[in-house]
Structure 1
Amino acid sequence: MKEHVLRTLPGIPMLFASFILGLLSWWLISHSFENHSWPYFWAGIFCGVTALFLLPGLFSLEPNQNAVVSLFGKYVGTASEPGLRWTLPFYGRHKVSMRVRNFESGKLKVNELEGSPIEIAAVIVWQVIDAAEARYNVEDFESFVHIQSEAALRAMATRYPYDSHDGRVALRSHPDEVSAQLKTELDERLGKAGVDVIEARISHLAYAPEIAQAMLQRQQADAVIAARTKIVEGAVGMVELALDQLKSRGVVELDPERRAAMVSNLLVVLCADRSTQPVINTGSLY
């Protein structure tokens, strides 16, 4: 449904006109009884009916509030000018707030990409941008936003792992990418309801309680392995550099057996998780 603007009349002049017609109606009817004049009486009735006809057409709009106007079930237009306005009394008016709103979804329990149960929640910031679509395309646009947001969050959570050490996009390590994907999916789902998603961000992310302890141990083990791998890579590079410099400068000549012993000793010193105690050989090297 294409929204279009409905021009409305200022409400203050119409209210004033209704008040004047009411006074005129009272004056005419009073004089009709005094003068026994039927023309005055019917003129007073006409003015009174006109005044009563004008009053139901008055309505007020606050800033960032629209009114969807219909005539016997047919969409006529959308009034958006704030203040006291007037339309034909036959028009039905349904006010829709255009203000920015936000809510936090409940903690949802879903299985992430690798099958582990997690708890996830998100904060959604949204705004109605088409009052006609929000009114007529869905039954209850606020409930629609909440339900579709939870559905999009569930669908998004199943496409990513909770954590990743191989550079893949993960829920915990890539919040910006995940939030952008969630916003894109919400825009697709909520566009038909005239709603624009301003921001969508993960507000809660954790493993489900039944596996939280096991996953903590797994994370700690993964962290230790990653750290050890980095240490070993650095140690091998340092040993290689030391051997190359000893050879290039002619400091000492080592046969393969002594070279292997030196490599072993250096790796032990560099990879140890605590300080080592040196042992000085006072005898012959061989």
Structure 2
Amino acid sequence: MTSSTLSTMENSKERLGNAFNGYAMLALFAAITVAAVVLLFTVPPGADGSTAEKIGFLAALITSAVVVLVGLCGFFMIQPNQAAVITLFGEYRGTVRKDGLHWVWPWMMRTKVSVRAHNIHSERVKINDLRGNPIEIACNTVWRVADTAQAVFDVDDYKTFVNIQIEAGLRTVGARHPYDDMSDEDKTTLRGSADVVNRELREELNERLQVAGIVVDEAGLTHLAYAPEIAGAMLRRQQADAVIAARKKVVIGAVGMVEDALGKLSADGIIELDGERRAAMVSNLMVVLCGDRDAHPVVNAGTLYQ
């Protein structure tokens, strides 16, 4: 759903609804019931009463019974972190958020909406990252209803709407960045920049769900992996990168050690080497320091130049 489409929609706005105190109304209906019962058993119309009196007495009893029975349909209970959207013949008349027993006119419709925090773990979806590599990605989202009027009237089914938009937002954010840093230009990656990606995902979902009055409090990736068809190749590439990085560190350390050794020998006047023998000594030291296996020394019984 594009921003231009959202701008043309007439968004609903939650407002406070009016409802009577349910406990007071319950006491009122109980009093009417008790009065009708007392009237029935204590002041029945005499046998010699006129027909009008009998009809009036019967009408009063029937009216009391109807008022009580119909009135009981107006009671509804609000649990903590729950709201009720009130409508009258299709017209929005407000939202009741205060928990407890309430009463409205029986012909007013009540739609209960949970405003508690909801937790959704999305299914794994297969997408292409910024470089076109197929990856599998999933996320966990914590959301809640902030505007009950928008959630009920501006979308058809806000829970289904949330599930679909989570998948769409996940695909959008996942396609913005590469899975891993394959070049120096990749400053933000899905694997190495979790804070940045999670923040972008939360902002993307809040923008998409704004039309439904939904607020996303937390969103983060829970699964991130290469698709099975390229997982083996990418694993070998990661292993090669690790080997290269380790070799680079070993070589840099070896060069520093050789430099320190030659400088120490020259400074202390232990030995003077010409250019050729100096290069040979550097080569031998580098082989010893950078080799994968332990070096086996060879004792030279002659001179240095033999």
TM-score when scaled to structure 1? 0.91
Which residue, out of 145, 149, 154, partners 1:137? 154
Q: Could you tell me which of 36, 42, 63 is aligned with 2:80?
A: 63
Q: Does 1:274 align with 2:285?
A: no
C-alpha deviation, 1:102, in angstroms: 1.0
**Structure 2: runs of 5+ lacking an equivalent:** 1-11
1:182 aligned residue (177, 180, 201): 201
- Return the alpha-carbon distance in structure 2 between the equivalents of residues 105 and 123 of structure 1: 6
Aligned positions, number? 286
Q: Distance in 1 between matches of 2:269 and 2:16?
A: 89
Q: Which runs of 5+ in 1 are unaligned?
A: none
Q: Distance in 1 between matches of 2:223 and 2:157?
A: 27
- SS of the aligned residue for 1:163 comes to coil
Distance 1:152 1:251 in 2: 69
1:33 is displaced (CA, Å) by 7.4
**What SS does the corresponding residue of 1:180 show, helix, strand or coil?**
helix
User: Which stretch has the larger CA shift, 46-55 or 21-30?
Assistant: 21-30
Secondary structure of the equivalent of 2:119?
strand
Written as runs of structure 1 = structure 2, the 5 A alignment for 1:99-110 is: 99-110=116-127
Structure 1 residue 236 corresponds to structure 2 residue 247 = no
Q: Is the Cα–Cα contact under 8 Å of residues 105 and 121 in structure 1 kept in the other structure?
A: yes
Amino acid at match of 1:2: K
Query: Matched residues in 2 for 1:33 and 1:236: separation?
Result: 121
CA-CA distance at 1:140 after TM superposition: 0.8
1:11 maps to which residue? Answer: 22
Tell me how far apart the structure 2 counterparts of residues 32 and 117 of structure 1 sit (CA, whole Å).
Answer: 87
Paired residues for 1:1-286 under 5 Å: 1-25=12-36, 28=39, 31-32=44-45, 35-36=49-50, 37=53, 38-164=55-181, 166=184, 168-286=187-305
Q: Show CA shifts across 1:228-250 (max 9, x none).
A: 11111222222222223333333
For residues 125-174 of structure 1, give each alpha carbon's deviation from its aligned partner in whole angstroms, at most 9, with x where no partner exists.
Answer: 11112212211121111011100000111111111222226472222223
* Pair 9,276 (structure 1): closer, same or farther in 2 beyond 3 Å: same
What amino acid does structure 2 have at the position aligned with 1:155?
A: T
SS of alignment partner, residue 122 of structure 1: strand
Q: Distance in 2 between matches of 1:243 and 1:76?
A: 89
Offset at residue 105 of structure 1 (A):
1.0
1:26 offset after TM fit, Å? 5.2
Q: CA deviation at 1:28?
A: 4.9
For residue 84 of structure 1, report the CA deviation from its aligned partner. 1.5
Once residues 249 and 136 of structure 1 are traced to their aligned partners in structure 2, the CA distance between those partners, rounded to angstroms, is 88
CA distance in 1, matches of 2:70, 2:46: 24
Amino acid at match of 1:185: E
Deviation string 1:174-201 (CA, Å, 9 cap, x unpaired) is 3232222211211111122121212212
| In structure 2, C-alpha distance between the alignment counterparts of 1:48 and 1:247, rounded to whole Å | 114
Comparing 182-191 with 46-55, which one deviates more in the overlay? 46-55
CA contact (8 A) 1:69 1:92 kept: yes
Q: Distance in 2 between matches of 1:113 and 1:60?
A: 51
Please state whether the residue corresponding to 2:60 is helix, strand or coil: helix
With the length of structure 2 as denominator, give the TM-score of the two structures: 0.86
Which range is displaced more, 188-197 or 142-151?
Answer: 188-197
Where 1:123 maps in the other structure, the secondary structure is: strand
Alpha-carbon offset, residue 253 of structure 1: 2.0
Which of 32-41 and 242-251 deviates more?
32-41
Contact 1:57 1:86 in 2 (8 A): yes
